[in-house]
Amino acid sequence: MTLISSHSILIKDGRALEALNNIDIVIFDKTGTLTEEQPKISAIQSFADLSENDILTYAATAEIRLSHPIAKAIIKEAEKRGLEFSQTDKANYKMGHGITVEIENCLIQVGSNRFMKNEAIKIPTDANQAAIFIAINGKAEGCIELAANIRAEIPKTIAALRKQGIKKVIIVSGDHLQPTQALAERLEMDDYFYEVLPQEKAHIVKQLQAQGHKVCFVGDGINDALAMQQANVSISLAGASTIATDMAQVVFMDGDLVHLSKLFELAKKLNNSTENYLFFWTGYGIGNIAFAIFNPIGLINSSLLFGSTFTLGLFHATQPLTQITKKDTNKQKVLPLMLENIQTKVSPIG
């Protein structure tokens, strides 16, 4: 545990270390986990007479009270352009779909293509179906296209997982087909699921487990909580939503997924060491009892042998501690501060 903490990894449930040795499928949530938390606005399209700034102003007005990455990207761009937008208490948010806001008899609806279809709002056939759409008083007026940046460490992390024996690496996302498929192909994923609702993520994990697989789920949002609870091992990142860090058995304290392959490596070493120590002490115990019973070396010599071997076993058991460098020790001094920080952000679950 001390060695693992030196790699900025917080183990909240020690059983996860044992379970990691049986994991054969790793599932990543897309937004905020595989990609940087906040996407960037790449284009704004108007379907009628409204300008790009008008479309952005309406979207920012609807999203102002929300804190998810898409809302932050929209608000950031609106502020960058110096646009003015108001707040309202009359909002109806449908989780995983979109938001409806009413201001001075103006009904603003912002959401995915699926959200617009559910609201019986027609979308132009030539529009990017993966965009975020803005409708005013029941009519689609424009859309905002977003671009996600893949975390720099992800390709190497996935390659390392495959070398460590992970059979499948999968993406689940509430996003549309096109961006999810493009990311899966770019990272050479084995499978992907798109337009997935929070409860459906947990169902996907459960289905894989029913097929005999052991699943590790890596996520960072409130939408991932049910899947993390269902998974055999759950991992999150410091700075993620409080519910995600509450649910996770393992938290990467510096928010870097490069530690994922290291975690699997350390868990495997722990398992191998435990098995080796078990075989050693079993063999030695049987031999020592035989020596004591049949007295080939005498009871006193047998006792001395026991003490010497026991001391040697303790020395081997503490070897991981000696592998920590001075730099690692400095990290350990930082760890309590990180823990204190996460405790102020995370509210315990009953």
> Token pair for residue 122?
């027609």
Strands 139-147 and 132-136: antiparallel
Distance CA 134, CA 141 (A): 6
Known active-site residue 24? no
- The residue annotated as part of the active site, out of 13, 24, 29, 220, is 29
Distance CA 130, CA 144 (A): 9
Distance CA 8, CA 335 (A): 7
Catalytic residues: 29
